[in-house]
Amino acid sequence: MKGYIKALATAIALCVSYAGAFCASAKGGDGGNLKRAETMLERVYKYYWIPDHNLMFDAYPNPNVGKPIDISGGYPYDKNITFVWGYSAVLSGITAILEGDKDHEVLKLLKEKYLPGLDIYFSISKAPPAYACFGNGHDDRLYDDNIWLGIDFADLYRITKDKEFLERAEMIWKFVESGTDDKLGGGVYWDEGKKDSKNTCSNAPAVVLAVKLYMATKDKSYLKKAQDIYEWTKSVLRDPSDNLYWDNIKLDGRIQEWKFSYNAGQMIQAAALLHKVTRKKEYLEDAQATAAAAYNMYFEQFEGKNGKTISMLKPSLLWFHAIMMRGFQELYPFDKKTVEEYMKAFEESMDYGWEYGLDENGLMTSNLKGKPREKGEELLVQGAAIEMFAKLHAFDKAKKKRSKKSSR
């Protein structure tokens, strides 16, 4: 998009100069899903960015905006500085924009502003190196936090062919491998410091990352590890009554039976990717079964303020739903007709959220029906909104491309 970085800087300056009036005016209207993603990214850098430190706030509004911040002391979260989890959600949004337009000027923003901030979280105090939860020397490190980054880096390598991204993804994989052992028969831990549970959120995306690294490098060891972790997760954490996934298993064998949309979504994506590279039918059947169950579980019929009844995403952390969307999108090439219906529900939900779910600053709420949080809107949610709008744009392009091919 012509002049995007310049436009971003101008928009931020104008928003500051005119007390938000410029950005607020962008709340109405459509302009397409890519434009929505770009607009949400502009708002992230307006409301959450801490230029003196290349960091971001966790939520907006918060009492620390505009104040000098010392990040060398206690946990940054005490000052409303985001965990690396929230920071990574913005990377996912940027990556999704590039997915739909590999020449988009947001790549310059990624390299000049985003990555220097992310590197503040990079920790070398323990081997292997990885990204810490905080950017101030507190060395708490989670395997899933790193895997989300690794997936984005693998995607960025596929899109740009820049080897720096592949190196970052492979570095993260070494950290993930350090979080595996034979207790409970296999699997990846969630927390490096405690190692008291193995979670779907650390195992399912580990499969996704490993398959993407196999596709990038053709190293069959990645595929073998992906298959092993997939089978462990399916055998230990899948609820056979509905094909959805429990949250985690403790080392004493107790299963925490919470079910979240992102866990289902990652197992859909993992199975679809494994089917893609192996052509084994059982992976496709797994993906289809979990996709159907997830659609039934995480969407509901909703009559909106506009009088229309749509299939709406149930209120939950929007980031969870963004990760779920990845699974449906990965399944699309193998089950086009069914997935188009699922993706229509995602699009209707986000359309409604754009119309009714933005707060007075144009920030997205997790409840797409329009109820804002009392303590401010989370960075995680904004990153999720960027990703979902950008992925809907990319999905629409892919659908049109396939339609043209089939009509020839």
Higher pLDDT, 382 or 67: 382
- Average pLDDT, integer, range 14-40: 57
* C-alpha span between 188 and 401 (Å, rounded): 38
Peptide bond into 128 cis (omega under 30): yes
DSSP conformation letters of 5-29: HHHHHHHHHHHHHTTTHHHHHTTS-
Asked whether the beta carbons of 128 and 188 are under 8 A apart, the reply is no
371 three-state secondary structure: strand
Task: Report whether pLDDT(79) > 80.
Answer: no
pLDDT of residue 53: 85
Q: Is 143 within 8 Å of 190 (Cβ atoms)? A: yes
CB 228 within 8 A of CB 278: no
Nearest Cα residue to 370 out of 310, 304, 295: 304
Confidence of residue 244 (pLDDT cuts 50, 70, 90): very high
> Does residue 19 register a pLDDT over 70?
no
DSSP state of 280: -
Nearest to 345 by CA among 375, 377, 368: 368
- The predicted structure's pLDDT at residue 2: 47
- Confidence category of residue 222, pLDDT binned at 50, 70, 90: very high
For residue 138, what pLDDT band results from cuts at 50, 70 and 90? confident
Least confident of 208-222, 270-284, 389-403: 389-403
For 148-172, letters b (16+ CB in 10 Å) and e give bbbbbbbbbbbbbeeeebbebbbbb
Burial label, 75 (beta-carbon count in 10 A; 0-12, 13-18, 19+): middle
Residue 76, pLDDT score: 66
**Over residues 258-283, mean pLDDT:** 98
Look at strands 255-256 and 248-250 and give their pairing: antiparallel
Q: How confident is the model at residue 408 (pLDDT cuts 50, 70, 90)?
A: low
Closest CA to 227 of 182, 274, 282: 274
How many residues comprise the chain? 408
Residue spans of beta strands (DSSP E) within 124-180 = 130-131
Write out pLDDT tens, residues 345-386: 999 999 999 999 999 999 999 899 988 777 789 999 999 999
Q: Which domains occur in the chain, in start order? A: 4-407 (1.50.10.20)
Nearest Cα to Cα of residue 176 among 215, 155, 146: 146
DSSP line for 198-260 = EEHHHHHHHHHHHHHHHHHH--HHHHHHHHHHHHHHHHHHEETTTTEE-SEEETTS-EE----
Torsion of CA 69, 70, 73, 75, to 10 degrees: 30
